[in-house]
Structure formats: structure tokens, C-alpha cells
Chains A and B, each alone.
Chain A
């Protein structure tokens, strides 16, 4: 067996793992990255990137097939024709380009990449089985970045017409009728995209409303849009069984209903990948289903680190990347801790939702008296010119110091505002800081400025 000594062994080539490896390599650490499938992990291959590609295609297709908006600006077009196989091929080409990009970056950082499965032997050793043969890797530091995978429902195991998010991104044709189980951000994003591509979509959610992790004020524009798109939403409903092109659902009142569907997308959450590769043998301290880490991403075993989804919520690529970068720097001897004030969460629904920091209820519970300022896009010039005046920006701050605690927005394209929101929180902005920053006109970001002014009790444009 091939013996491979190194300084850092990273298991998992997703956003956490490959960033950790790149930074470790840049810092001159001898690094090996092991990836079982393709570089980029869930995010790049079957998550963030392909779903956004699909959403973009769906938005374009829907805009053309719903000529109402174009007619308003004096444009008329014929009915569009969608070649979905080509759409998927286009998506795959983006993914492939990024796969290649990650590989190139790793190479540039002098990281050795092994495509194969790793089995942990002990805290410093793993056996990697690749097509080219087996190797035993000895490392001073082990970084566990194995990520997560879609959770199954016992009654609806993946396979056949029952799809995970991964499966739904690999369809070659748009289903005629799609049932989506779970109204979290994955189910909502994909459900809306398939509705725009022409599928008849029904969303089944066990809790009382869609996107239950976001406050209701924020999700209402999305709920309204679902109705416009003809998406049916069943809340307080449990999916029971899928048979004969129908999903049986138990509703809140106890009655049962069959929803016609040729495909079912189950998007009820993701499970940390902690079994099947020898992690148990390390006997690390766990935190529920996740590997427990401290604020340096150190596990209970010295020089064994864990980053990304395997360490728990929020399961977000940008969190994993920040953790990966930090762990590499810690291994290189720098003093770092994960002390970020805020991690933005985005739903690429229609309209988009951005959440950074505390929502008003949580802010009140944590800090007492608060001030909330909200500015609607229907009073924003740029939003009107883009035919996208649904939604708002909302700023939550402490009443005593005006220190900003949370910034939330819902609206078309607000995902790009997440950067300025996160920066405001990291810099410890007060309402005055936002209010005294000149926001360029005409942009949708002016709504952020106005929301801060509004929280200070002196709005201009409303």
C-alpha cells in the first residue's frame, strides 16, 4: 500500500474542505484533499450552483411565457419553447467549469487531490481507496469536511419518482405534476422553479406556514407569489405515501387527500454525514447528530478539526468556507477564532429573502427595547423600473444605543444586498452609520438607507 505522509489531510472537497485545502496550501502546509465524487461538494454539484442555474432558466422561461409584464412595457413576443435537456446540459456545463476551476485552484496551491473514498483509521491516519489503488495517508492534522446529505422520509424513500434535491436537478424533462414535501428553502426554491418551468406544483408542509424558520412578515410576499404562480400550498399536512401517480396526504382536520403527481420532491432537511467512513472509531464528542466543535472548529480530539455541515446548523456554504479558511490558518499557527457576528441566510425564492442577524422578536427577547424600521420597495424608484416592487428592507436595532441587531429583506434580487447587510453587522453599525452612508440612486439598496432613517423616526420617501 502506498504510504503518503502529509501535514494536513482534508476529507471532503466541498466548499469547506476545498477552501481549507487551498488556504493550507497557500500557507505552505503539505496538504492532501480527498473527495469521493466531484470537487465542489453538494454546493457546487447538486446544491447552490445548479439550483441557481435552474432558477435562472425558469425565471427566463416564465417571463416569456407570461407576457403580461412584457406587454406592460410595450413588448410582445410569441410563445417560448423550452428544450429542458439543453437547459440541464447548460447547467452541467457551468458546474463542470466550476469543478475545473476548483481543481485548478487546488493545484495552484500545491494541494494533492485524491479522488476516492477515505476511511479514518485513527486521528492521524486514513486509508484512501481510489481507482488508482489504495493509499495510507498519515497526517498531523485531520480536517473532517464530509458535509451533509438529503434526509429521507421513511414513507417516501428516495428512488424512482421520489426525488431528493439532487435527483430533481438531474431530471431530463419537466414533470407535469410535481409534489414537493417540505416548504423549507430548498423545497420552495425548486418548487417555484419547476412551477415556472410549467409543472403543476403542490407544496406539502407539516408546520403551519411556508419557510417556517423565517418570520411571517418576511415570507408573506413569497406566499402571495405562490398563489400568483398557481402553486397550491398545503400546510399542517403530512405526506403519507406515494403510489399510482398520487401522493396521499393527511391534512390538519384528519381528512386524507390524494395529490396527482408524476414526481415527488422530498426536501425535509439535511443530515450530517458522520457514518460510513470510520469517524465512529475516533469516538469524538457529538452534539446531537453533529460533530461538536469549539469556536476554533476543534473537535474533542487534538489536531482533529471539523468544518461545515457536519458541525451543524446553519448548513451554509459560506459558513463552511469561513470555517475552512480559519482552520487552515490555525493549523499554520495563526491565532483565530470563529467570532463572526452574523452569517447571512438567503432563500432564492421569488421574491428572494435575505436574513442577517436577529429578527425583531428574537432581538426583543435578547436585548429588550428595540427599534424597527421598514421600507417597502413599492416606494423605491429602481424597483419600479425593474417591475419588481414587491417586498421591503427591515432594520432592527437596539433602542438605547441604536446598534443594529438584524437586517432582513424580501424582494427581487435582494440576495445581492446580503453583503452590505453583513458588513453593517460585522462593523458594529448603528442606525446612524447606515443613515449617514450615501446610498447610490437609483438602486434598490436605497431601501436599506430609508429603513434605517425610518427606524430613527425620520424617513424621507415615505
Chain B
């Protein structure tokens, strides 16, 4: 039998992908040549796709609603008597088959998909190293490449050589010197005049760089991209930035860190913020919630599963500190370190990466002045931490230096009102500015 893979055709100028809006056939159906098998929608039009071969349908490229890139497999048809189109492209067929696996709409993608990415990453430097090895002997054979001397260094040559160069129209800056201290000898100049280098050495950043690197967005990066786009598309974001005086908190932290031990290691500011969020959400259940916009349901949680946005070699991940409401300061710090380390190593368990109810994001020293974090759907709130700075603050008739940070938080305005969000952040602020209140049992 000949298995034919029908690709998503180029349905219009400038169209890169199309959404399947209707299947006219299902797996097992027999189709005639030119029979319409599907309707796909671009942002311009809906197009019916006919099959160029007759046969039986082996697999469909996706469920209705799925978006397929132009050129990806739309349908696979067993066409008796025709050569097998997949055989020829055997190595390429593997990812295509994975695409054809049952659609995974509501289920998060299984973690098994992630491992290939780090593997590819590990291979890349190796390959680069090999290329560098291969290039090295070439360079040794070709001493005429690269700058003759460090930038800004004047060429050294006797007045007679300088005049000879001038008369020959040679700029000595481009001539290599073989003499001591890189001095350009008469012979160097003669050799240069006899055989000038093919192209003048390029100055840094002068020549137009026409290189284009094409990077396929797959795996983890693709999931991040999809999640971000989905959140941006669905959530009515609004951001709220507030300045918080952390002078007292920093004093407390410094004194705790001064007596750091193995069990109680040095703390960053984040565990304190975790405590503050846990305490604050008790009064603001509307921000510690999930909004299922398909079902029009809001779930408010008693538990605080705190997502901690973490940069990993594969991209942004949000490992989860579960039941933060049960943890003390050091337990928070320990658990946060454990799950974020696991995410970085790629060994995080699935429940350590899902189920957060509210997210905390911090770029530390890179935190900037303000940011607009993207809500981690289906959550409805994310609290962002900006860089700590010492600022002159007007107090009691004079300026005093105070350590401050900004909290930049975003909320899903569809279900969180501005007033509630602002009051929630003010509560966090009050707790942080008087850090003792973090530790008072209600």
C-alpha cells in the first residue's frame, strides 16, 4: 500500500497557518480523488481542502479548532497502488507522527516532551567545539587574516619605510610587522605590495551583517509562547505598581543573615514576600483563584500554592511551592529553593510544576523599575518584584535614605476589580513595611 501524507496547502498569500474548522471525513472513511476532506480558516477566508488521491483515511492532522502551520501534515491517506510518500522521508516522518497523536487540548503536554530539548542544547556546544577544532588549523595556515595589531596601536616603521609606503599608497595600519615589537620592515612592506590581502580587514561592526538565524520554536519554548499568547489574548490584564519601603525588612534580614547557619541559611527577600502574600490573600480570596473562562467558573482556594517564576536553561518555568500557608519563613525559603532547583535541573515532578493558585515573579538585580507581568492562566494574579534601590524619601521635614522596591503586579480584570487588587497590594505593603506583623499569629 502507498501511504500518502497530505500537507496543509498554502491557502493564501502571507498565510503561515490555518485553523481546522471542519472535518468532512473521519478515520477509516474512503475518499475519492478531489473529494473535499476539510475546511480550514485563515484570518482572511475559509478554504475547502480536497484530497489529490483516492483511498482510506488513516489519520487526521488535528481536531477542529487546532491551528496547523502551512506544510504540516493535514491528513494521511492510504492510497492503494501508489508509492509510499512517507518512506522516502522516513526520518522526517517521526515528528509528523507525533503531531498526529490525539489532540492534547486540555491536558498539559506530558513532560516526556521536554527532555529532548536539553539534549539538543547539550549537543550544540559540542558541535560548535568540533567546528572550532576544525577551523583552528586553517587559521594557523593563514596568518594574513585578522588585524595586524590591536586597535589603536600605531604601526611601527622607520621613516624610510613610512615614506615608501606613502608613495606606494599603502596604509601601514594594514601591514603586518615581522620585526621586533611588531616593527614593519622594508621586506614586510615589499611583500604587502606584491600580494595585498584579498579583502581589507573588516572593522568591528562596520560591514552590514546579513546573517539570519532561523530557530524553530518547539517544545518548552513553544509551550511558553502559546501560554503567554493565550494569557495575553484572554486575560484583561491590568498592572498596578506600588513602591514599598523595605528598610525595616532589610534590617531584619541582615540581622538574620548575620547569624546564618546550615539549617537556617541566608535569606533573600522572596521568602518574606511569600509570607506576606500568604497572609494577605487570606483577606483577599478573589486574587488566590482560578478563572475557568470556558466554563465561567471561579474557584477560590483555601490553599496557597505559590508559583515562583524561574528562569531555567529551557526557558521560563513556574515551579510551585505547595501549601505555602503551612510554611514558616525558613521552610518557605527551603521549599522555594528545592522546587526551583528541580525545575532548573529538569527533574521537577509534575505536581511541582502545576496547580499554582497565585504567582510571584522576581528578576532580582535585573528587576528594573517597573514591569508588566503576564498572569499565569488560569490564575488571576501575579506579583512582580522590581529592583531594590536606595532613595531619598521626605520624612519629618528632611530627606532620609530609604531602601525601597517596587511591586509590579498584574491581575485579570475580568474577575478582579481594581479596588480589590490595590487594597490587596496595600495589605502586602503594610506587612512588608512592618515586618514584625508577618510573624503575628492571627
Contact = CB atoms under 8 A, between A and B. Distances in A.
Interface in B145-184: 156-159, 162-163, 166-167, 169, 179-183
Chain B, interface size: which category? 10 to 19
A401 B156 CA distance: 12
Contacts of A401: 180-182
A335 B166 contact: yes
Nearest to A404: B181
Contacts of A340: 159
A428 B166 contact: no
Interface string A290-329: 0000000000000000000000000000000000000000
Contact of B181 (A335, A336, A402): A402
Contacts of B159: 340, 426-427
A401 B179 CA distance: 11
Contacts of A398: 181
Interface string A329-359: 0000011110110000000000000000000
Given A401-B181, A403-B181, A432-B180, A427 B166 contact: no
B183 to A, nearest CB: 5
A428 B156 contact: yes
A430 interface: yes
Interface string A406-441: 000000000000000000001110101100000000
A433 B158 CA distance: 13
Chain A, interface size: which category? 10 to 19
A321 B163 CA distance: 17
Contacts of A427: 158-159
Contact of B167 (A335, A339, A403, A428): A335
Contacts, number: 31
Contacts of B157: 428
B158 A337 contact: no
A430 B156 CA distance: 11
Interface string B240-260: 000000000000000000000
Given A401-B182, A402-B181, A335 B156 contact: no
B328 to A, nearest CB: 55
B158 A426 contact: yes
Nearest to B154: A341
Nearest to A427: B158
Contacts of B183: 428
Nearest to A367: B153
Contact of A428 (B163, B169, B181): B181
Given A403-B181, A428-B181, A428-B183, A336 B166 contact: yes
B156 A403 contact: yes
Contacts of B162: 339
Contacts of B179: 428
Interface in A373-397: none
Given A401-B182, A430-B180, A335 B158 contact: no
B209 to A, nearest CB: 32
Interface in B24-62: none
Nearest to B168: A335
A431 to B, nearest CB: 10
A221 B233 CA distance: 83
A272 B157 CA distance: 33
A335 B182 contact: no
A428 to B, nearest CB: 4
Contacts of A433: 180
A335 B180 contact: no
A398 B156 CA distance: 13
Nearest to B182: A401
B181 A337 contact: no
Nearest to B155: A428
A198 B161 CA distance: 51
A276 B159 CA distance: 38
Most A Cβ at <10 Å: residue of B167, B180, B181: B181
A337 B182 contact: no
A228 B158 CA distance: 43
B182 to A, nearest CB: 7
Given A401-B181, A430-B180, A337 B166 contact: yes
A145 B162 CA distance: 26
Contacts of B169: 335
A334 B159 CA distance: 15
A256 to B, nearest CB: 48
A416 B52 CA distance: 99
A433 B167 CA distance: 28
A430 B181 contact: yes
Contacts of B163: 336
28 contacts: A334-B167, A335-B166, A335-B167, A335-B169, A336-B163, A337-B166, A339-B162, A339-B166, A398-B181, A401-B180, A401-B181, A401-B182, A402-B181, A403-B156, A403-B181, A426-B158, A426-B159, A427-B158, A427-B159, A428-B156, A428-B157, A428-B158, A428-B181, A428-B183, A430-B180, A430-B181, A432-B180, A433-B180
Given A398-B181, A427-B159, A428-B183, 18 more contacts: A334-B167, A335-B166, A335-B167, A336-B166, A337-B166, A339-B162, A401-B180, A401-B182, A402-B181, A403-B156, A403-B181, A427-B158, A428-B156, A428-B158, A428-B179, A430-B180, A430-B181, A432-B180
Interface of A: 334-337, 339-340, 398, 401-403, 426-428, 430, 432-433
Enumerate the 6 nearest inter-chain pairs by beta-carbon distance, A residue then B residue, closest first: A401-B181, A428-B156, A403-B181, A335-B166, A427-B158, A428-B183
